[in-house]
Structure 1
Amino acid sequence: MKLAFIGFGGVGQSLAKLLEERPLGAEVVAISDMKKGAIYQPNGLDVKKVLEVVEEDGTLDNYPNEPGLVRGMGSIQTIEQTNSDAIVEVTYTDVRTGQPAIDHCRTAFQHQKSVVTTNKGPVALAYRDLAALAKERGVYWGFEGTVMSGTPALRLPEVTLAGNEIKEIHGILNGTTNYILTEMENGKPYQDALRQAQTLGYAEADPTSDVEGYDARYKVAILANYVMGSSLAVEDIPCEGISGLFNEDIKKARDEGKAWRLIASIYKSGEEVKAVVEPQCLDENDPLANVKGPTNAIVYECDLSGPIMLTGAGAGLIETGYALWIDLFYVKKQLGVTSI
Structure 2
Amino acid sequence: MELRLALIGFGGVNQGLFELLLTKQDDLRKYGIDAKITAVTDLRLGTVINPAGIDTGALRASIQAGLSSVPLEADPGTTVTPDADLDATLKLVASDFVDVVVEATFTDPQTGEPALSHCRTALESGKHVITTNKGPIALAQKELVSIANRHGVLLKYEGTVMSGTPVLRQISTTLRGCEVTGFSGILNGTSNFVLGEVAAGKTFDTAIKEAQVLGYAEANPAADIEGSDVQLKVMIMANALWGAGLCRDDVSCQGITRLTEHEIRRAMTEGGAWRLVGSARRSPDGTIVASVEPKELPAGHPLLAATGVTNAISFDTDVLGLVTVTGPGAGRVETAFAILSDLIEIGEKVVADATEAAA
TM-score by length of 2: 0.90
Indicate the SS of the match to 1:29: strand
2:92 corresponding residue in structure 1 = 78
CA contact (8 A) 2:70 2:80 kept: no
Q: Deviations over 1:3-52 (max 9, x none)?
A: 11111111111101110111331001111111111111111111221131
Structure 2 residue aligned with 1:58, among 68, 73, 78?
Answer: 68
- Of residues 28-37 and 216-225 in structure 1, the stretch that sits farther from structure 2 once superposed is 28-37
1:277 corresponding residue in structure 2 = 292
The separation in 2 between residues aligned to 1:111 and 1:290, in whole angstroms, is 43
1:33 aligns with 2:33: no
Unaligned runs of 5+ in 1: none
Task: Figure out how many residues of one structure are paired with residues of the other and give that number.
Answer: 338
Residues 282 and 49 from structure 1, CA distance in 2 versus in 1: closer, same or farther, beyond 3 angstroms?
Answer: same
The separation in 1 between residues aligned to 2:58 and 2:70, in whole angstroms, is 10
- Matched AA of 1:42: P
- Matched AA of 1:67: G
Indicate the SS of the match to 2:242: coil
The separation in 2 between residues aligned to 1:16 and 1:58, in whole angstroms, is 18
1:12 aligns with 2:26: no
CA contact (8 A) 2:305 2:326 kept: no
- Matched AA of 2:207: A
Residues 44 and 218 from structure 1, CA distance in 2 versus in 1: closer, same or farther, beyond 3 angstroms?
Answer: same
* Cα offset, 1:61, TM superposition: 6.1
1:136 corresponding residue in structure 2 = 150
CA contact (8 A) 1:76 1:107 kept: yes
- Matched AA of 1:293: G
CA contact (8 A) 1:173 1:264 kept: yes
TM-score by length of 1: 0.95
1:101 aligns with 2:115: yes
Unaligned runs of 5+ in 2: 29-33, 354-359
Give % identity.
41
The separation in 1 between residues aligned to 2:273 and 2:222, in whole angstroms, is 22
- Matched AA of 1:109: L
The separation in 2 between residues aligned to 1:95 and 1:55, in whole angstroms, is 30
The separation in 2 between residues aligned to 1:302 and 1:130, in whole angstroms, is 28
* Cα offset, 1:195, TM superposition: 1.2
Q: Deviations over 1:220-263 (max 9, x none)?
A: 00001012221111232110000111111012223333211111
Indicate the SS of the match to 1:336: helix
The separation in 2 between residues aligned to 1:153 and 1:58, in whole angstroms, is 36
- Matched AA of 1:310: V
1:327 corresponding residue in structure 2 = 342
The separation in 1 between residues aligned to 2:116 and 2:303, in whole angstroms, is 33
* Runs of 4+ with deviation above 3 angstroms: 67-73
1:230 corresponding residue in structure 2 = 244
Over aligned residue pairs, what C-alpha RMSD do you find? 1.6
1:263 aligns with 2:272: no
* Cα offset, 1:301, TM superposition: 0.5
* Cα offset, 1:62, TM superposition: 4.6
The separation in 2 between residues aligned to 1:332 and 1:168, in whole angstroms, is 31
CA contact (8 A) 1:33 1:75 kept: no
Q: Deviations over 1:109-145 (max 9, x none)?
A: 1111000110001110000000011011110111000
The separation in 2 between residues aligned to 1:27 and 1:289, in whole angstroms, is 41
CA contact (8 A) 1:145 1:320 kept: yes
* Cα offset, 1:81, TM superposition: 2.3
2:135 corresponding residue in structure 1 = 121
1:204 aligns with 2:218: yes
The separation in 2 between residues aligned to 1:10 and 1:252, in whole angstroms, is 38
CA contact (8 A) 2:200 2:265 kept: no
CA contact (8 A) 1:260 1:289 kept: no
The separation in 2 between residues aligned to 1:218 and 1:70, in whole angstroms, is 36
CA contact (8 A) 1:41 1:70 kept: no
Indicate the SS of the match to 2:106: coil
Indicate the SS of the match to 2:70: coil
- Of residues 232-241 and 206-215 in structure 1, the stretch that sits farther from structure 2 once superposed is 232-241
2:79 corresponding residue in structure 1 = 69
- Matched AA of 2:179: E
